[in-house]
Chains A and B, each alone.
Chain A
Amino acid sequence: MTIRTTLSAGLAAMSLTATLGASTALADPVTVGLITTLSGGGAGLGVDIRDGFQLALSMSGSDAIHLVVEDDAQRPEQAVQIADRMIQSERAQILTGIVWSNLAMAVVPSATAQDVIYVSPNAGPSQLAGAGCTPNYFNAAYQNDTMHEASGAYANVLGYENTFIMAPNYPAGIDALTGFKRYFEGSLAGELFTQLGQTDFAAEIAQIRASGADSIFIFEPGGMGISFMRQYAQSGIDLPIISAAFSFSQDVLPAVGDSALGVINTAEWSPDMDNAANQAFVAGFQEAYGRLPSVYAAQAFDSANLILSALAAADINDLPAFRTAMRAADFDSVRGAFRFGNNQHPIQNYYAREVVSVDGVLTNRMVGTAFEDHQDVYATDCAME
């Protein structure tokens, strides 16, 4: 055998495998990389996102998605590494899962620039909703400000006139207070920034007591909210609290305990929402994991169904067609109505929920509507139509 025939045989074999590879790729499931926080203090949120996403896949019975899950340990640099590995060696075409805005900002711009679709199941930083919006980024949850805007709007409904507002001193905390003030019509009894990760709120509670406020708005996500509510309950102050759902979602309610009872918190979803998709979701989640789903689980469940609906309608290798299918958002959301605005962030209702005890388990019940068909303010800065 001459060198030439060896070469041509080799080339033929290679092109054959390449063709085979291409044809099986069409039949193969699409790889979706789920990067989320599964260790450390924020693990509860990531676990709910993972479980919600997986539940949607198993309930759909579809094998269109091959899911790869990795833990970012709530560290931006680790999330970036995982994203690169998933895109380059696992050939992930869709990424999702990130809980925190700072991690999303580290991962999303570079991933979407590589023509990878990113679907956000939670974080909604303003940069990605406004001038930095991109056709490959879909937010299936909410834009960060909107949850707090809903609190501000509902505080008007409740007749609060002199509210003390408080959030941690970091970008999302500043956005929270800005969002609340954007719609709140009353006056402020005080405005306070706490430290990120703060565990003792005695100094702040003392100032709330002395402020003469008629109500309190807080944004203290994760352990901060648990600590604040415990200490608030011991303080003897009895002012009503309004908040976005983060500190009163199902993942932290058992740890907050009865001191959360009666707190009004705003979100785009509530476990008791009366639609078939939601009832199936809540029942399925309880059966699969033995606990009630949080708002994070609901958003991840919707993210998975959104992706499945687009995969059923279009081939992901034809990216423009796939994006059009994603924008159509043709799936049964657990939130009821769901559609995307021009910046591919949701236009949706926001509800007021009250923490109640049902058979000894703390959960949320819908008590009112804060916004109907609400869109974030950054959408006007987005060049997409």
Chain B
Amino acid sequence: MTAALFLEQVLNGLQLGLMLFLMSAGLTLVFGVMGLINLAHGSLYMIGAFFCAAAAAASGNFWLGLIAGTAAAAAAGALIEVTVLRRLYDRDHLDQVLATFALILVLSELTKIGFGPFPLFLDVPPILSGTVNLGIAHYPLYRLALIGFGLAVALGLWLLIARTRLGIRIRAGENDREMIAALGVNIRALYTLVFALGAGLAGLAGALVGAVQSVQVGMGEPVLILAFVVIVIGGIGSIKGAMVGALMVGVIDTMGRFLLPRLFGHFMEQSQAAGIGAALASMLIYVLMAAVLVIRPKGLFPAHA
């Protein structure tokens, strides 16, 4: 194993982690502030990717597509919050799971009706295509840009939560929703805004990742499962926890897929090692989640410690 390969894999892990962060930040925010379990978060990711692909194809400009995808997901989020989810805040989590699962089915079918059953094409923008020389290794420029994008959004989100009036309200809403309602904050509007923000982040992640993945119906569900693992590890409701959890999951998943088959290759036949290594690697993040929960039952950074 060369240093170049190792560096490339570390970068791959970071990039996967930062995209997972965009997904899980919205999910954990919505749960922390509104107490809502939203299974349809993956559908918003899908909506972001589809609108980005369609707008980019129509305009020939990836960046317009990116804006369209994010805006469409945020708008869809706001619409869902006002029409469906608003009725679920006082119900227990099982009702929320059931209703948002129904939303997955509805949104998937609507997407299929709107965009057709075949996967869409979305290419990386020309300015970000190709590879960049990092001295010892060549690395795809677009993936580097994704790392930069993820860090920038994380910083922006932190500034929003820590430094703005809206951020104060969001944090207050996490702690005591009755009290901030009593203090005259329009809690309904706040909830819609928070949900749209989370949806927009999911849509942004979908649009960014859509350029290197298949833009197809159902693309959100595998990511949704990973995002849930991330927020459980990080502590439900905590943005900081989502960041740490996402990076842990990204790096450990990538390194597991890379190193485990090699490890087994030292003492068994290659095709067998590949099979066992791949099977164990796919379990690794769930083992991590279980281990974290044994030591810290509420996750690494519980929002309501």
Contacts and interface: CB of A to CB of B under 8 A. Distances in A.
Interface string B122-161: 0110000111000000101111000000000000000000
Interface string A186-210: 0010011111010110111011011
Interface in A42-81: 43-44, 46-47
B212 A231 contact: yes
Nearest to A178: B271
Contact of A194 (B119, B131, B270, B278): B278
A38 B211 CA distance: 25
A196 B131 CA distance: 28
Interface string A204-239: 101101100000000000111111001100111000
Contacts of A207: 5, 258
Interface stretch (A118-126, A249-257, A268-276, A309-317): A249-257
A interface, size bucket: 35 or more
B213 A223 contact: yes
A256 B123 CA distance: 9
Interface stretch (B25-33, B167-175, B192-200, B215-223): B215-223
Given A40-B217, A223-B214, A210 B138 contact: no
B275 A236 contact: no
Given A199-B223, A234-B212, A47 B5 contact: no
Nearest to A168: B278
A206 B212 contact: no
Contacts of B118: 44, 47, 251-252, 254-255
Nearest to A37: B117
Contact of B119 (A174, A226, A231): A226
A203 B255 CA distance: 8
Given A191-B270, A191-B274, A202 B218 contact: no
B215 A255 contact: yes
A177 to B, nearest CB: 7
Nearest to A256: B121
B140 A169 contact: no
A241 to B, nearest CB: 17
A150 B198 CA distance: 48
Contacts of B5: 206-207, 209-210
A227 B212 contact: yes
A255 B4 CA distance: 31
Interface in B231-274: 254, 257-258, 261, 270-271, 274
A224 B214 contact: yes
B256 to A, nearest CB: 9
A213 B202 CA distance: 37
A222 B205 CA distance: 21
A227 B261 contact: no
A204 B8 CA distance: 11
A19 interface: no
Nearest to A195: B282
Interface in A307-341: none
Interface in A242-281: 251-252, 254-257
26 contacts: A38-B117, A39-B108, A41-B218, A43-B217, A44-B117, A47-B118, A169-B279, A191-B270, A191-B271, A193-B275, A194-B278, A199-B214, A202-B12, A206-B12, A206-B258, A209-B8, A223-B213, A223-B214, A223-B216, A230-B211, A234-B212, A235-B131, A235-B140, A236-B130, A256-B121, A257-B123
Closest 6 pairs (CB-CB, A-B) = A223-B214, A226-B214, A255-B119, A41-B218, A202-B12, A193-B278
Interface of B: 1-2, 4-5, 8-9, 12, 15-16, 108-109, 112, 117-121, 123-124, 129-131, 138, 140-143, 209, 211-219, 222-223, 254, 257-258, 261, 270-271, 274-275, 277-279, 281-282
Interface of A: 38-41, 43-44, 46-47, 169, 174, 177, 188, 191-195, 197, 199-200, 202-204, 206-207, 209-210, 222-227, 230-231, 234-236, 251-252, 254-257
Given A191-B271, A203-B254, A210-B1, 7 more contacts: A193-B278, A209-B8, A226-B119, A230-B212, A234-B129, A252-B119, A255-B118
